[in-house]
Structure 1
């Protein structure tokens, strides 16, 4: 019988409120650097196709408390910052 590997448990890094959400290589002079982590509305319209109808993320409503807001922001921040391997 083999045991499953034990994953190390650690605290998630704390993201500063003034940290830009998008990595620098996804931005340009024309688009600017984009929203910051502490903003309650992340407007991503300059970074997506013009045919995309909803590219604003509003964290000011729909969440139970500040912890839920920071959790949602942290999850999206992580997805924007980490590459997704291509499907082969």
Structure 2
């Protein structure tokens, strides 16, 4: 899941680049932070873009990384090595 906003330059960059990176994910789910304030609060989103990993209904938390392919792949690998958390 990726929280973004129309007025955020980094979000526009993420929207442009992430689909092209061929990451090992089944799908990218885009959430407009301005339109979904309840989810922003629930997931405790403090800065945009905010990336969270959910796999097979299990929540693996936030990905705190740069938007480069290598860093994203590393963050995905590290997140999946952790035990799943409760969905917020």
- Range into which the TM-score falls when normalised by the shorter chain: under 0.3
**Structure of larger gyration radius:** 1
- Going by fraction, where is helix more abundant, 1 or 2? 2
Q: TM-score, normalised by structure 2?
A: 0.27
- Going by fraction, where is strand more abundant, 1 or 2? 2
Q: TM-score, normalised by structure 1?
A: 0.27
